[in-house]
Amino acid sequence: MEREDELLLAAIEDKYQQCQERSMPTASAFLDMRQCALAESKFRFTRHFLWGGYEDAERRIMVFLPDYYEGDPQDPAFRLYPEDEFLEVLRVSIPKGSRPLTHRDYLGSILALGIDRSVTGDILVQPLGADIVILKSMEDYLLSSYTSAGRATLTTSIAPIEELRLAETKMQQKRDTVASLRLDNVVSSAFNLSRGKAQDAIRGGIVSLNGLQCLKPDALAEEGDKITLRGMGKAVLREVGGTTRKDRITIILDKYI
């Protein structure tokens, strides 16, 4: 294990110990897809859940719960409180007539402030601004310091996480046949890649299955699974049908565009 990963797991371990010793919920900083998988492997027997402000978030925190919290933390409907304890939204607006800003513009300008990527989650770009998921502890600093991106002057405010504005998504449906429901076959179909390139992407750690990094090309995908290929988007295995005369499996994919 690399030194960076050891330090990450040690920091998360500290949060887990705080939860146990103080009998109160605690949370890590934001984790990317690979880090989420690493943390899930290490802390799979603890009471925790991963949360990034909305169901399909790519960057998420790991929340640890004391034993007195009832319910299954892994249930997607499970929440700490009606009001999120750890996350909120930095709502960014740009002046009308300004050049539309991209995800890269917002991320680059945030990192230029000298803060670590781990304190901010997903950046959801809107026509005249963006909603950025942040740790509540960063509210004051970002409100006072985050004033520009690209050449645009920014106006910022804070909103509760339940008011997060999801970016508009468009989907394209694709019907195909695959030799099997192996992940490499489904990735190949969803993103128009050769099977070899799909396997390379999976082994390279840039493919997630239902929000968690998957390194096994032979992992089996199931109906309803969400697949992300970093840099190329997301897809949902919407339907698994019967087999063709050539013994191939028919599938329907919804591809985010």
Q: Following CA atoms 202, 205, 209, 211 in sequence, which dihedral angle do they give, to the nearest 10 degrees? A: -160
Using CA atoms, how far apart are residues 73 and 50, in angstroms rounded to an integer? 9
Q: How many CB atoms lie within 10 A of CB 50?
A: 19
Confirm whether 76 is domain-assigned. Answer: no
Same domain, 136 and 59: no
Q: Which of 130, 131, 158 is nearest to 54 (CA)?
A: 131
Which residues is 49 bridged to in the sheet?
A: 63
In CATH, what number is assigned to the domain containing residue 217?
Answer: 3.10.290.10
Give the length of the chain.
257
Please compute the mean of the pLDDT values over residues 197-226 and round it to a whole number: 92
Confirm whether 175 is domain-assigned. Answer: yes
Please compute the mean of the pLDDT values over residues 215-232 and round it to a whole number: 92
Same domain, 154 and 180: no
Same domain, 51 and 119: no
Please compute the mean of the pLDDT values over residues 14-20 and round it to a whole number: 97
- Give pLDDT, residue 218: 96
Confirm whether 79 is domain-assigned. Answer: no
Please compute the mean of the pLDDT values over residues 16-34 and round it to a whole number: 94
pTM: 0.80
Indicate if the pLDDT at residue 251 is higher than 60.
yes
In CATH, what number is assigned to the domain containing residue 152?
Answer: 3.30.70.330
Same domain, 103 and 144: yes
Number of domain units in the chain: 3
Same domain, 222 and 204: yes
- Give pLDDT, residue 211: 78
Confirm whether 226 is domain-assigned. Answer: yes
In CATH, what number is assigned to the domain containing residue 18?
Answer: 3.30.1370
Same domain, 113 and 37: no
- Give pLDDT, residue 27: 95
Query: Which domain covers residue 240, as residue numbers?
Result: 171-256
Same domain, 176 and 159: no
Confirm whether 135 is domain-assigned. Answer: yes
CA angle 187, 190, 193 (to 5 degrees): 65
pLDDT in tens, 69-99: 877 777 766 665 545 789 999 999 999 988 8
Q: What is the DSSP letter of 80?
A: S
Confirm whether 74 is domain-assigned. Answer: no
Averaged confidence pLDDT in the chain:
91
